[in-house]
Amino acid sequence: MTEKEAKKELYSYLHSKKLEQRKLEQIEEVKTKLTKTTTILSDMPKGTPDNDKMSKNISRLLDLISEHIEIMQEEEENLIRITKKIREVEQPFRNILELRFVEGLKVEEVSVEIDKAYRYTKSLIKNAIKKYAEI
């Protein structure tokens, strides 16, 4: 595997994690619409069978939940594949890969966590990706 492919594989988990978060936000948004109640008193009948907002929102919520489940399954598969490979990498590169690509810390946060300079941390991450690609 090339370094570029290794990087792509490592970032795939982070991307699916972000996508999962966006889906959760969308689900919460639709749930809020469903639970939001407003009452307007009028003697005029409201709504038609084809213009029922609640049924559309319920349908949208079910679709979002289904998409979220698929994303979570993909995310779990990515995590399992990546962590198996990371376990084979020697220390300190293993910790760096876990911090950066599994926990999703930024380079600055990784450098604070391992108590190293930012530039040195960047080179450690690059070397860790090389080690990962060799597996």
* Residues 115 and 129 reside in one and the same domain: yes
CA–chain centroid gap for 70, Å, is: 12
Q: Is residue 1 part of a domain?
A: no
Tokens of 118: 């930012």
- Domain range for 95 is 89-135
Q: How many CB atoms lie within 10 A of CB 129?
A: 22
- CA-based nearest residue to 102, from 126, 78, 74: 78
pLDDT of residue 50 exceeding 50? no
The predicted model scores a pTM of: 0.69
Query: Per-residue pLDDT for 48 more than 90?
Result: no
Instruction: Check residue 51 and report its DSSP letter.
Output: G
Query: For residue range 62-97, what is the model confidence (pLDDT) as tens digits?
Result: 999 999 999 889 889 888 999 999 999 999 999 999
Angle at 79 between CA 12 and CA 67, to 5 degrees: 70
Arithmetic mean of pLDDT over the chain: 86
**Quick one: 58 and 14 in the same domain?**
yes
**Pair 29, 82 in one domain:** yes
The verdict on residue 46 lying in a domain is no
Cβ neighbours of 97 (radius 10 Å): 26
Q: Is the pLDDT of residue 43 over 70?
A: no
Q: Which residue has the higher pLDDT, 55 or 87?
A: 87
Segment 10-20, tens digit of pLDDT: 998 888 888 88
Let me know whether 17 and 65 are in one domain. Answer: yes
Task: Give a yes or no: residue 37 inside a domain.
Answer: yes
